[in-house]
């Protein structure tokens, strides 16, 4: 019985920490709790990751074909072929990974272009897909499109659609 008391005591101490979730354990801002504003070098504090910016009907209209929500801001054509995904992150996370993502896009896509959206953005296209990354004060967005037969049939189909999606983002 003695051998069980120590492990059980430890589990009662650790279990509440695990059950609370990350935002309750260790993520508190001491400056905010003390009523002091954090020094951000004149910039506003980082924004949280935005919610999924699109509805099924919005995307269906922009893409020009019916779309089906698949969870986690991922949408498909209902046939398991075409896929549109939006990944969101905080502004700081987007800025931190932007250079790396743009470099990788240059290795994967046929063409990579800077676009005038948010603080910085690019779009990248190839025959069977496209990607765009936007970093803005509202957060950052990575939009990927792949295997849309209708878009691939037109020389600028992916780029045109991606630009329309970027125009619809809540920046």
Each residue's pLDDT tens digit, 103-138: 999 999 999 999 999 999 999 999 999 999 999 999
| Domain total in the chain | 1
In a domain, 129, yes or no: yes
In a domain, 38, yes or no: no
> Domain holding 144: CATH number?
3.40.1000
User: Is this prediction's pTM over 0.85?
Assistant: no
Domain-located, residue 42: no
Structural domain boundaries, residue 71: 56-168
Whether residue 15 is contained in a domain is answered as no
89 touches 96 (CB < 8 A):
no
Instruction: Report residue 114 CA to chain centroid gap.
Output: 18
55-102 residue pLDDT tens: 999 999 999 999 999 999 999 999 999 999 999 999 999 999 999 999
Going by pLDDT thresholds of 50, 70 and 90, the confidence category of residue 43 is low
Buried b (16+ CB within 10 A) or exposed e, 125-153: beeebbbbbbbbebbbbbbbbbbbeebbe
Question: Please, what is the average pLDDT of the chain?
Answer: 82
Spatial CA neighbour of 139 closest among 105, 91, 72:
91
The 3-class SS string of 30-77 reads: HHHHCCCCCCCCCCCCCCCCCCCCCCHHHHHHHHCCCCEEEECCEEEC
Give the range among 17-21, 60-64, 129-133, 148-152 with minimum mean pLDDT. Answer: 17-21
Q: Please name which of 158, 160, 122 lies closest in space to residue 141, comparing C-alpha atoms.
A: 122
Check residue 76 and give its pLDDT. 97
In a domain, 161, yes or no: yes
Residue 123 lies in a domain: yes
């Amino acid at each position: 019985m003695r051998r069980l008391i120590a492990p059980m005591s430890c589990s009662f101490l650790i279990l509440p920490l695990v059950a609370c979730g990350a935002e309750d354990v260790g993520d508190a801002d001491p400056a905010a709790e003390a009523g002091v504003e954090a020094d951000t070098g004149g910039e506003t504090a980082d924004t949280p990751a935005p919610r999924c910016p699109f509805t099924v009907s919005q995307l269906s209209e922009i893409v020009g074909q019916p779309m089906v929500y698949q969870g986690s801001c991922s949408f498909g054509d209902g046939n398991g072929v075409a896929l549109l995904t939006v990944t969101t992150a905080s502004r700081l996370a987007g800025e931190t990974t932007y250079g790396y993502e743009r470099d990788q896009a240059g290795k994967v896509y046929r063409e990579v272009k800077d676009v005038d959206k948010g603080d910085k953005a690019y779009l990248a296209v190839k025959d069977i897909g496209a990607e765009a990354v936007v970093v803005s004060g509202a957060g950052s967005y990575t939009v990927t499109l792949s295997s849309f037969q209708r878009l691939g049939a037109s020389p600028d189909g992916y780029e045109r659609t991606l630009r329309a999606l970027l125009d619809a983002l809540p920046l």
